């Protein structure tokens, strides 16, 4: 039906001009724009080198198609803004109209069409400057045709970010293009209804993906701005949703300004969170307790964010991770403890690996994650695996200590298979220079003991293997110290952190990876691992992470983070 609606829309001849001159609101990367101008086309980890070729010649999986057809690369070319960048942007957009403007091709879905409309309108003056009358008319006709397609097919977009993209694109187009005004009212009404359904009282969304929440927040900001600029009053559900999301995003933000990397999300595009928070003018700070299922503690220059709730289940879990009780820790501008991240841009094997518990900074049992991946099933584009057998009971309690704050957490994800509950205590010192942790796997009742005994028998009474992992950011230099009893962690800021443990587990320093969208391959990293075998009904491991005594409280750290195309 997308194809039918697209071909019908392609036969129409609507829209001849902008109602008002559009102002670009999207943020691009100058460096990435320069790469595109030079012919290095990097999309979803796939690099295509072509000096004069078209972006539509890039071949790749669904993620590559999504990044190209959504036209977010226009932001990067506009960030460069010179004649070469403008010529490439104009040529690629006109090429899209030639190839796909008749209603064919992979870009005719509601979410991609909405994303594409926003970029084309945002950069309309950039795309129209200096071109002839005929290509200008083709540009406006295509905008109108895509708007008509959206008006027929937006209801089929999957609830969540895809629906928000489709509706925001329709609002943008209806307010910007001549003859499209009639589509604005229904789109605003639908967007308001989705805000009430999809954004909960905590300011969170069902996927629990922090970066996706930022994208939703950004779209709502753009919609409110566009509605306000047209002289209309944005409906209360939109502004109320923005007011709920803003403090939640502040709670999910590390000391370096990046978002916590959980459930398929990354740090977020540089500058987008700052811009979105400044635009919304909501100054509310996060309160105590959970924010979209995460809990945050900050002290001094240190921030700690923990996944402290059940993972998503059902359709919202297609990108979710088995990360229950995992944490990330950042000191100043430097991430220290991280999760591996989403491997979606590196292929299905990396995608599955990135979702498993061993790719997160928490405890796991050998061969088992705290949640399991179900069988592949069709949901939107591509094969999608939902989480199953997720923890049914996840507890979190925050308390104040004389010298800091304490988190007491637990989940029962290993109870059905091994009869074990994982409990974790994290104590953050008031000055932010130290973190004391304790991980416990234990049985709670007789039925749990019977399950544990069966699991123990399966190992020939050698014990149930476990590993507590602490994945390090690639910029952290780690080395075993004190004869293998501790690990020294050096940050590029000059800070030194030292990891120690109580000797109840084996300490090792092992290879790890840092999975980051926009790179050609995973980055090499390291992980600190405490491993052992559970022989009794309760196994406890204590550890500490603290700054070395000669590390000052304030470090002047203004050097940009290292990074490049081949990192």
Stretch 390-398: mean pLDDT, rounded? 95
Residues 96-116 have pLDDT tens digits of: 999 999 999 999 999 999 999
Residue 236's pLDDT band, with cuts at 50, 70 and 90, is: very high
| pLDDT at site 271 | 83
What does the pLDDT look like over 195-232, one tens digit per residue? 999 999 999 999 999 999 999 999 999 999 999 988 89
Contact indicator for 243, 284 with CB cutoff of 8 Å: yes
State the pLDDT confidence band at 3, using cuts at 50, 70 and 90: confident
The answer on pLDDT for 43 being more than 50 is yes
Band the pLDDT of 317: cuts 50, 70, 90.
very high
Structure confidence at residue 510 (pLDDT) = 97
Contact 85, 33 (CB under 8 A): yes
- Answer whether residue 169 shows pLDDT above 80: yes
pLDDT digits (tens, 9 = 90+) for 460-474: 999 999 999 999 999
* Reported confidence tier of residue 562, pLDDT bands at 50, 70, 90: very low
- Among the ranges given (57-61, 151-155, 430-434), the one the predictor scored with the smallest mean pLDDT: 57-61
Q: Is 550 a residue whose pLDDT tops 70?
A: no
Q: Average the pLDDT over each of 8-22, 65-79, 355-369, 441-455 and give the range with the smallest value.
A: 8-22
For residue 550, count other CB atoms closer than 10 A to its CB.
6
Maximal CA-CA distance, the chain: 80
The dihedral over CA atoms of 185, 189, 194, 196, expressed in degrees to the nearest 10, equals 150
The three-state (H, E, C) secondary structure of 148-176, written as one string: HHHHHHHHHCCCCHHHHHHHHHHHHHHHH
- As given in the structure block, the two tokens for residue 234 are 């944005």
Average pLDDT over the chain reads 91
Average pLDDT over residues 274-283: 89
DSSP result, 341-367: ---GGG-HHHHHHHHSGGGSSSEEETT
Query: To the nearest whole percent, how much of the chain has pLDDT over 90?
Result: 75
Whether 380 has a pLDDT exceeding 90, the answer reads no
Predicted pLDDT at 82: 94
Residue 566's pLDDT is: 40
Yes or no: say if 175 and 227 are a contact pair by the CB < 8 Å rule.
yes
State yes or no: pLDDT of 553 exceeds 50: yes
Segment 487-505 shows an average pLDDT of 95
Contact 245, 237 (CB under 8 A): no
Query: Using CA atoms in the order 353, 354, 358, 364, what is the torsion angle rounded to 10 degrees?
Result: -100
pLDDT category at 50 given cuts 50, 70, 90 is: confident
The residue behind tokens 């300011």 is 203
- Beta strand 523-534 with 506-514 is antiparallel
User: Which 8-state DSSP code applies to residue 439?
Assistant: E
pLDDT of residue 191: 97
pLDDT of res. 25:
82
Q: Residue 379: is its pLDDT beyond 70?
A: no
> Which has the higher per-residue pLDDT, 13 or 561?
13
pLDDT of residue 198: 95
Which pLDDT score, from 0 to 100, does residue 362 have?
98
């Amino acid at each position: 039906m997308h194809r039918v609606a697209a071909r019908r829309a392609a036969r129409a001849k609507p829209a001849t001009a902008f109602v008002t001159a559009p102002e670009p609101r999207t943020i691009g990367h100058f460096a990435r724009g320069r790469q595109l101008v030079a012919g290095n086309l990097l999309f979803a980890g796939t690099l295509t080198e072509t000096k004069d070729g078209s972006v539509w010649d890039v071949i790749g999986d669904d993620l590559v198609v999504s990044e190209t057809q959504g036209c977010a690369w226009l932001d990067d070319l506009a960030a460069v803004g010179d004649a070469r960048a403008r010529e490439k942007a104009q040529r690629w957009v006109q090429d899209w109209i030639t190839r796909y403007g008749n209603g064919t091709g992979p870009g005719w879905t509601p979410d991609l069409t909405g994303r594409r409309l926003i970029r084309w309108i945002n950069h309309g003056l950039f795309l129209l400057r200096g071109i002839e009358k005929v290509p200008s008319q083709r540009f406006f006709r295509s905008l109108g045709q895509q708007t008509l397609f959206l008006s027929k097919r937006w209801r089929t977009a999957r609830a969540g970010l895809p629906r928000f993209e489709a509706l925001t694109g329709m609002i943008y187009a209806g307010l910007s293009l001549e003859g499209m005004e009639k589509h604005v009212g229904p789109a605003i009404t639908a967007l308001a209804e989705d805000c009430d359904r999809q954004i909960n009282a905590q300011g969170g969304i069902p996927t629990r993906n922090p970066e996706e929440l930022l994208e939703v927040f950004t779209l709502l900001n753009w919609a409110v701005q566009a509605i306000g600029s047209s002289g209309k009053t944005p409906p209360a559900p939109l502004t109320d949703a923005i007011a709920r999301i803003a403090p939640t995003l502040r709670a999910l933000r590390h000391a370096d300004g990046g978002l916590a990397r959980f459930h398929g999300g990354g740090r977020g595009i540089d500058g987008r969170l700052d811009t979105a928070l400044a635009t919304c003018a909501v100054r509310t700070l996060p309160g105590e307790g959970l924010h979209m299922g995460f809990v945050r503690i900050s002290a001094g220059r240190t921030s700690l964010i923990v996944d402290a709730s059940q993972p998503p289940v059902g359709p919202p879990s297609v990108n979710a991770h088995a990360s229950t009780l995992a944490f990330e820790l950042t000191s100043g501008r430097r991430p220290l403890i991280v999760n591996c991240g989403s491997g979606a841009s590196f292929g299905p094997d990396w995608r599955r690996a990135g979702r498993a518990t061993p790719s997160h900074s928490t405890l796991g049992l050998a061969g088992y994650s705290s949640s399991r991946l179900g069988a592949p099933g069709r949901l939107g584009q591509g094969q999608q695996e939902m989480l199953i057998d997720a923890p049914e009971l996840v507890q979190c309690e925050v308390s104040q200590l004389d010298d800091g704050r304490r988190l007491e957490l637990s989940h029962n994800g290993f109870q059905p298979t091994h009869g074990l509950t994982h409990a974790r205590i994290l104590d953050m010192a008031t000055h932010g220079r130290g973190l004391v942790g304790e991980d416990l796997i234990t049985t709670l009742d007789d039925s749990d003991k019977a399950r544990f005994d069966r699991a123990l028998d399966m190992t020939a009474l050698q014990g149930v293997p476990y590993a507590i992992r602490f994945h390090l950011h690639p910029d952290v230099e780690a080395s075993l110290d004190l004869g293998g009893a501790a690990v020294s962690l050096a940050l590029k800021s000059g800070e030194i952190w030292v990891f120690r443990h109580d000797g109840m587990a084996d300490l090792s320093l092992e290879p790890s990876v840092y999975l980051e969208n926009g790179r050609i391959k995973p980055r090499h990293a390291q992980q600190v691992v405490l491993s052992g075998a559970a022989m009794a009904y309760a196994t406890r491991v204590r550890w500490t992470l603290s700054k070395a005594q000669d590390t000052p409280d304030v470090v002047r750290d203004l050097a940009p983070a290292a990074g490049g195309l081949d990192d």
